[in-house]
Chains A and B, each alone.
Chain A
Amino acid sequence: MIGTSLPRPDATGKVTGAARYPGDLIEPGMLHLKVVFAHRPHARIVRLDTTAAVAYPGVVAVLTAADVPHNAYGLVEPDQPVLCGEVVRFVGDRVALVVATSREAAEVAAGLVEVAYEDLPVLADAALALTPDAPLIHPERGTNLIYHCPIRKGDAEAALATADLVLEGEFSTAWQEHAFLQPEAGIAYVDEDDRVIIHTAGQWLHEDRRQIAEVLGLPEAQVVIRYAAIGGAFGGREDLSVQHLLALAAWKLRQPVAIVWSRGESVMAHHKRHPVTIRCRWGAMRDGRIVAVSATAIGDGGAYASTSQEVIKCVALFLTGCYEVPNIHVDAYAVYTNNLPAGAFRGFGAPQAQFASEVMVTRLAHALGMDPLELRRINLYREGSLEPTQQPLPAGVSVRTCLDTCLTTLATLPALPPPAAPHLKRAWGFACGIKNLGYSFGFPEQATATVELHGAATIAQAIVRIGAADVGQGTHLILRQIAAEALNVTLETVQLIAEDSAEAPNAGSASASRLTMMAGRAVHDAALGALREWQNEERPARITVQYRAPATTPLDAVTTAGRPNYAYGYAAQAVEVEVDIITGQIRIVRIISVHDVGRAINRQQVEGQIEGALAQALGYTLMEHFQMREGRVATPGLSTYLIPTILDTPPEIISVILELADPEGPYGARGMAELPLIPFAPAVADAIYNATGVWLSDLPFTPERVLRALCP
């Protein structure tokens, strides 16, 4: 059961079209919603006239800010209006919500909502956000600073002053769009028990419920979130998008309502990965010891806070990568601008920070005349290493093993024939990666599961209740496998109830690579608990278990010390690239991706996560150039924002799965789904350097940027 490659029960339906995604739930007779977006980056609403829209045939209502009981929401802090009444702060701000008997009527009427704006100065550059004359995005705060995360360890300036070698670096990364296959959609209605039911796609049932209950001013028990089949998420469904709009309309009108966003609406209206600029100085001694890092990072948080505060903490923590550095002076800032809000995206700040740290480590080695892999071995985290926050790392530090395995795997590969033409330069590049698993910095980390065993002499049915979202990563099969193993029953015996906030307890979000560890552990513990009840002749045997991870802490305000995380995942990659030095085009030839997953509950799914994340990493590194001009989206569709297809992915991806058991995870499993995204960009940068002798420091490495670096 554990460690096999059981096929996904949902796979066939997803391929044949039988799976019901949120957009498939729409039935005749439902009302249709259309959002009136601001389409301007910063403006005061002078006048809002819905008369013509309301008069349009088929229109049932036009909702505005005045209709929202509590007009503020957000994952971390409620700074985002459901519907804007006074000011719009980015192009995707929602100004009104048209409800009509048909989608067409709603669309036409949305165009009839008259909004007069007075444009305000636009802040489009995060680097200017904290300057004195920058326009304030939320004037009541008195600053555009969302969050500042300092980390201090030892004395970085003194150590840099006495280091044998100091290198400076500057890096920038771009927005990344989640581009999940299924744009936002869903339905909502009020049921016979006067509960508002929101049936959509998301990443955390109970958090969606909390926020919507707050917006509507209802007790949480009166709000029910259900998830249909979810067509990808990657962090992009952590923030509310259409869920609260559906809830508002259904609750106000007491009629079933539906919405489907177009790709253009999806791209404009949901948050992105943070663009981050990083300036840093790294100091090392001649023997290869890294002695100090001083770094500043600025993340563009866009118009609303979303999870910026948490992302920027991860940026700060990972600006020194997976290396034990005795002296650290780091300042990471998330700032407001009039750009699209930035928030969660697979990797959550780690890819940006470690693009810089991995490249700096390699550059240090070159400058010292050392093998970059040898320099890594000297400085890599090991058991007991002190984190930047001055605490020992949680047990299970396997990055060195990942790197060594990567090299032994590489040694087994045949060399390819030389490139077909002299202008094609081919080389391997290397990088390591680290990512926290689960919630950080004192955020309460728990997952709760209920297991019910039915039958007489033997267990005929095991019902597992756990509100854990299967966003496509296969969590539901994993949880059933864990329950079946713990109970020693067949997979078919285990029935999972996971997609209804009223029927399943809170497992936390599908994020931070945490569900296999956290939800898996809760199911494991509950299954064993229920089995004990069963052995005590309880029929049905039923138990609810809350698993709480080892505690983490916020960082001390003065010393910045603390225990930020209870677990980390580690990875190492080797990437072979071919650079066309005349056009700047880059082809990824082969990838070795090594991951310590503790225990592969389902091997095929682990490989699927590695390969899928690598495709996303490839897009992030080479193709996905999200562009904004003065707060407006210049790449609103997939014809202008390029995501990889199968033609862009290399034919050979070698996934190496290490199973060094984690002390906390179920059967030793630890999270892994974000890790492949982290070493990839710096590994490609290293390969480009090895092939051509130039470093690229701005993601993505488009052909044009590569050529400019080659022929400055």
Chain B
Amino acid sequence: MTITGLDFGVIEPALPFLLEGLALSFFLTAAAMLGGIVLGLALAVVRLSRWKVAAILAAGYVNGFRAIPLVLVIFWFYFLVPLALGRSVGALQSVIIAFILFEAAYYSEIFRAGLKSIRSGQWQAAYASGLGYFQALRFVILPQALRNMLPLMITQAVVLFQDTSLVYVISLRDFMTSASIVANHDNRLIETYLFAALVYFVICAIGAASARKLSTLRRAA
């Protein structure tokens, strides 16, 4: 296995260990997406609503989170959530909350753009037929908006997947942290980090390609 002095033999025995880390990365991505989408949709709906005060608060939330680095949010919640609750929570719980709240700000912007992309005549047609606001949103506007938004949502998920590597700051073992442990333990930094880069590249390339494919499909439709 030796090519130009590199020894990739260290990877194989470490695979189960690395997979555990990868599982955490995927889990965090899924949890943050799910929570972020639900909260993000609510924020977008409030921002586009007639409730002025709520809209301003939602805008403040979104702009606030988008102005802070994610790593800082992770740190804060690790220390703040236990303070707020008066008892300690695990690092995992605090990081899930941090990710959801952070991602919601970004998903909210995607939703807002998606909802605004639907022309007002569709709202009028829905209202004219007697549908209420939330019925119009659910049956008429959102299905169309989601179709427009899907490529952007996948792109956001790709970024999110990469961002899960930041959990190293509170000593959670995601894929990147696992790779780093293996690299230092076996003193094979170049090989391990090359392998890690390859894994990130393949996963993210698949995501990016499917986003591209979806957006061309949408244009053809």
- Report whether chain A binds chain B: no
A-side interface residues toward B, CB under 8 Å? none
